[in-house]
Amino acid sequence: MSETITNAVKGKYGSVAASGLSSDHAGVRAVAEAFGYSPEELASIPAEANMGLSCGNPTATAKLREGETVVDLGSGGGLDVLLAARKVGPSGRAIGVDMTPEMIDLSRRNAEKSGLANVEFHLAPIDRLPLPDASADCVISNCVINLAPDKAAVFREIARVLKPGGRLAVSDIALKCELPPELGNDLMAYVGCIAGAIPIEEYGKGLVEAGFAHVEVIDGGADLNAYAKVENQAGCCPLPGEPSGLPIADSGCCAVGPAAVVDEALHARLADLLRRYDVNDYAAGVKVFAVKPGAIPNRPPAKEPVPVADAAEPVKLLSGGNPQIAKADGDAPVQAYIAAMPGWKSDLGRRLDEIIVRIVPDVRKAVRWNSPFYGVEGQGWFLSFHVLTRYVKVTFFQGLSLHPVPPGGTPKSKDARWIDIYEGDQLDEARMASWVKQAAALPGWIP
Ligand SMILES: C[S@@+](CC[C@H](N)C(=O)[O-])C[C@H]1O[C@@H](n2cnc3c(N)ncnc32)[C@H](O)[C@@H]1O
């Protein structure tokens, strides 16, 4: 059975690679933008790298840094590898793995067009990665693991190739509830990224069983009918110059490219199923994060130099060791604050900042009253942290509404609640991420 699936997946994506789908088509561009790519990102890589096959943008959440080695599982036309390559820079490496020869050829052509020297592509299945143990800082993947028949083997391989402390940032499809049997047992629905998806809880459990910590599988809330909506605009059989490029609905009643191996009756059946069942009722586009336990790998310095007032002049520490940073908006003053936090507190500040950005990618940042503030545009601030002599105080301005309520607070602190983190405390990243997620969804504090 798994060989039948693998051959069907290879055949389908081989034909997609030969179809000419690209960002030059409005429909394909719209699918990518619906799943989180900016027009600027799409314009920065060869158009043929994007075929509208994604269900998220893992390079936006992976927090890639200069010098890192990143591996993309099921790299398709090279979309995420090429974006990642820019983020890790010439001293880093971006490696794509895909089992479909036509996709590997296409991605190599796209890499050549982009002129990037730090990318490589390997033809291999993602449950047998041709990479050494502990060689990657980050593994990303976009709408692929649902297609793998042996997901436990994929999770084990990811754990093997990651360095201790390395991380996983994946976009994928997972199930919110059981699929109707006629959809769940349909080979075309499998190839179209639906029937191979596993329940959200099973995804998290599988990663824990493979040895990962800080596992999060978050329903990103994307509308999976984004594919179908675009298709409807272009008609069922894509018009020349207006192909749909849809991993789920595909071209509905007709094969995508000249090399399509699946017959039209199968396509027609899937199109009919998708008309009768709303995929959003059963499946979700999920963002998956996990960390391989172990030491945090030596991270290279942040890409942009931290604009501390004057590099020759150290930041002044106020009473309790809190860095004095002038009031300013944006990421740079927050990074300057974090860099100046004394000793172990700086690493904690960086981890807090990473969690917040991961959960709220478009978070608004600023320094106020010598503390970093995090907020949502138009909603005020939801979190701040501050250095004290023996601990770092993380305050949620609507802490009283969080579950569980953070432990710190007094009758005078109104809705605000906090947690004090001391040296040697184990940061409960899952709890912190949950608080951040809840807090960012509440109306924030407007001074
Ligand atoms: C839906 S496409 C996503 C492509 C790419 N990640 C993107 O977002 O543009 C799935 C890709 O994964 C590849 N793929 C599927 N199953 C695979 C497996 N078990 N091993 C390696 N590659 C696989 C396919 O060949 C195809 O290129």
For residue 327, report the distance from its CA to the centre of ligand 1, in Å.
46
Those residues whose C-beta lies under 8 Å from the C-beta of residue 321, and which sit 6 or more positions away, are 341, 342, 345, 387, 388, 389
- Domain 2-291 class, CATH top level: alpha beta
Nearest Cα residue to 176 out of 49, 282, 34, 87: 282
In this predicted model, what pLDDT tens digit does every residue of 245-254 receive, in sequence order?
Answer: 344 334 332 2
User: CATH assignment of 319-440, given 3.20.20.60, 3.40.50.620, 2.40.30.110, 3.90.1150.200?
Assistant: 3.90.1150.200
What lies within 8 Å, CB to CB, of 104 at 6+ separation is 96, 98, 121, 122, 123
Tell me what pLDDT residue 143 has: 96
Task: Determine whether the shortest distance from the Cβ of 173 to ligand 1 is under 6 A.
Answer: no
pLDDT tens digits for 218-252?
Answer: 998 888 887 664 443 322 233 333 333 344 334 33
- Model confidence pLDDT, tens digit, residues 83-102: 999 999 999 999 999 999 99
Choose the residue to mutate in 4, 13, 146 for probing ligand 1, maximizing ligand atoms within 8 Å of C-beta: 13
State the span(s) of the chain assigned CATH 3.40.50.150. Answer: 2-291
Kindly tell me if the per-residue pLDDT of 216 is higher than 80: yes
pLDDT given for residue 257 in this prediction: 28
Ligand 1, atom 11, lies closest to the CA of 74
Q: What is the pLDDT of residues 380-408, one digit of tens each?
A: 999 999 999 999 999 999 999 999 999 99
Residue 119: beta bridge partners?
94
Q: Where does CATH 3.90.1150.200 sit in the chain?
A: 319-440
Residues in CB range of 341: below 8 A, 6 or more apart? 321, 323, 348, 349, 387, 392
CA–CA distance from 405 to each of 202, 386, 395, 408 (Å)?
A: 28, 19, 11, 9
What is the distance of C-alpha 433 from the center of its chain? 15
Is 125 near ligand 1, meaning CB less than 6 Å away?
A: yes
Token digits for 330? 């944006």
Nearest partner of 383 among 404, 406, 410, 403, judged by Cα? 406
Determine which residue's CA is closest to atom 26 belonging to ligand 1.
76
Q: Is the CB of 111 under 6 A from ligand 1?
A: no
